[in-house]
Amino acid sequence: MNLLILNAGSSSLKCTLMDAEQDAVLARGMADWAGAETQYRYQGPEHNENTEHTGRGNHADPVQVDWKGHAAAVRRFISDLQHVEPLALPDPSSLVAVGHRIVHGGEFTSSVRITAEVRSRIAALAELAPLHNRPSLETLAAAEAELPRVPHIAVFDTTFHASLSPEAFTYPIPHQWTQRWGIRRYGFHGLSHAYCARRAAEMLNRPASDLRLVICHLGHGCSAAAVRGGRSVDTTMGFTPLEGLMMATRSGSIDPEIVAYMQHHQGLSAEQVEHALQRESGLWGVSGVSADMREVLAAAQSGHQQSRLAVAIYTRRIRQAVGAFAVTMGGIDALVFTAGVGEHAAEVRASVCDGLECLGLELDAQANATCQPDADIALPHSPGRILIISTREDLTILREVRDVLSTNPLTN
C-alpha cells in the first residue's frame, strides 16, 4: 500500500514515495530549476550515489539535466520509480493514491479527493497564491495524465489554521468585504506547523493539549504560528502568503498605503507592484545580493552593509512575532525553528533569540552552533525550551490522504 506525495514549489518539485502502513520513505526525488540549470536528485531504496551528470540513476547528490518544469519533473520521477534499479515501484498497482500539497485552499477545511469541481476551485484561488497554486495545478495535470486510475487527493496548507477564531481571522475592513469576497486571514505552511506541533510534544514528552508553542517556519517563504493545545490560534501569513514575516523575495507586511502611493504617484501598474512585492523584495530586495540566506549571511560577514541590514530586519520581525504570539497565548512553553533557514542557520536562530530571555527562552550558544535537528538548544535551566525540528510535510500529507481514503472507501 504505497502513496505518492507531490509537493510543488514555484520553481521546484519534491516527490516522495511512501509505504502508507509503515510511514516509511521508499524513494525521494527533488527537481529545482530556480537557477540557470535544472538540478535533479533521485534516491531509491538503496540510496546509491551516482556522480554522472546524466541525471539518470539512483544518486544522492543533485545532477544537471536538460529539462525543466513541473510536468517534466513528474514524468521523470514516476519513470525512475519504475525503471531505476532497484525498483521502488515494481508493481504500479500497489499505488493507492497520490497526495498533492495545495498551498491555498480558501474555504476548504479538510483534505478532499480532487474532482473537476475541486480543481476549478483551486484554480480560482491561484491569484491569491500565484507562486504556488498554479504550479500545483500543473503538477496535478501531469500526475493525472501519468496515473489516471489512481485517486488524487488535495491536502491544503490552510486547513490547519481553520481553527482560528473570528477575532484572529477577521481584518478590520468593511464587513461586506469579508462577507461578500471572503477577505480574511487563512494562514499557510499548515502542513509544517501541524507536524512540528506534534513532534514538539513528543520531544518534550508532554501532551500537545498542555503546550503553548510558537513555531517559526523559515524557508524561502516564512511564517510563524501560535499553537495552543495542538490548534492554531494565530499566524503571520494572512489572506495570501505575502503577509507577515520578511521572506526570501517577498516583502511580508508593509504599510498598505505604499501600494497606492507607488501606483498613483510613481506610475507603477498593479502588476508591477505585485511582481516587486512577490519577487523583488525580502532578502533579495534589501540586500541586493541574493534571496538565499546563506549568501546574504556570507556577504554580511564580509562587511556588506545592505546584507547586514537585511538579516537584522529579517530576525527583528521574527522576534516581534514570537513576543506577540507569546502574549496572545498567555505565555510560551517552547519556541520551534524549522524549514531550511530555521533548521540550518545558527546565526539566524541566535539573533532571533537575543532578547527573548524576558519570555523565559534562554539559548545555549554552544548547542545552537553545533547541533543537528531534532534537538533542544535551550540552556538546561531555561524555563521555556527552544527546539530545532526537521519538518516532515510528507508525513502530514500521508496521514491526511490516509484519512480521506479511510473515511470514503469509494475514493480508493
The CA-CA-CA angle for residues 186, 124, 189, to 5°, reads 30
What are the pLDDT digits (tens) for 171-195?
A: 999 999 999 999 999 999 999 999 9
φ, ψ (nearest 5 deg) of residue 59: -135, 150
Is 107 a known ligand-binding residue? Answer: no
Cell of 364: 545555549
Q: What is the pLDDT of residue 56?
A: 43
φ, ψ (nearest 5 deg) of residue 40: -130, 135
What are the pLDDT digits (tens) for 55-92?
A: 444 556 788 888 889 999 999 999 999 999 899 998 88
Q: Give the CA distances from residue 96 to residues 38, 73, 151, 174, in Å, rounded to whole numbers and listed in that order.
A: 30, 21, 7, 46
Which of these is catalytic: 32, 61, 80, 157?
Answer: 157
Domain 206-393 carries which CATH code?
A: 3.30.420.40
φ, ψ (nearest 5 deg) of residue 73: -65, -40
Rounded to whole angstroms, the Cα distance separating 348 from 186 reads 27
Q: What is the pLDDT of residue 212?
A: 98
Q: Which superfamily, per CATH, for 2-156?
A: ATPase, nucleotide binding domain (3.30.420.40)
Rounded to whole angstroms, the Cα distance separating 405 from 412 reads 6
Instruction: Provide long-range contacts, Cβ within 8 A and 24+ apart, for 75-81.
Output: 75/142, 75/146, 76/29, 76/31, 76/40, 77/13, 77/15, 77/29, 77/31, 77/42, 78/4, 78/143, 78/146, 78/147, 80/27, 80/29, 80/42, 80/44, 81/17, 81/27, 81/44
Query: Among this protein's residues, is 66 annotated catalytic?
Result: no
Is 252 a known ligand-binding residue? Answer: no
Cell of 236: 503571520
Strand 385-388 to 231-235 pairing:
unpaired
Query: Domain-by-domain residue ranges, the chain?
Result: 2-156, 206-393
Count each helix (H run) and each strand (E run) in the chain, helices first: 15, 14
Q: What is the pLDDT of residue 412?
A: 40
- Residues of the chain with pLDDT below 50 are 48-57, 410-412
Is 343 a known ligand-binding residue? Answer: yes
Q: What pTM value is reported for the model?
A: 0.90
Is 47 a known ligand-binding residue? Answer: no
Location of C-alpha cell 486571514: 185
Dihedral of CA atoms 237, 240, 246, 251 in degrees, nearest 10, equals -160
Is 246 a known ligand-binding residue? Answer: no
Is 218 a known ligand-binding residue? Answer: yes
Is 68 a known ligand-binding residue? Answer: no
Q: What is the pLDDT of residue 106?
A: 85
Rounded to whole angstroms, the Cα distance separating 68 from 31 reads 8
Is 316 a known ligand-binding residue? Answer: no
Q: Can 2-156 and 206-393 be said to share one CATH topology?
A: yes
Q: What is the pLDDT of residue 47?
A: 59
Instruction: Provide long-range contacts, Cβ within 8 A and 24+ apart, for 176-180.
Output: none
Length of the chain as a residue count: 412
Q: Are 382 and 362 in contact (CB under 8 A)?
A: yes
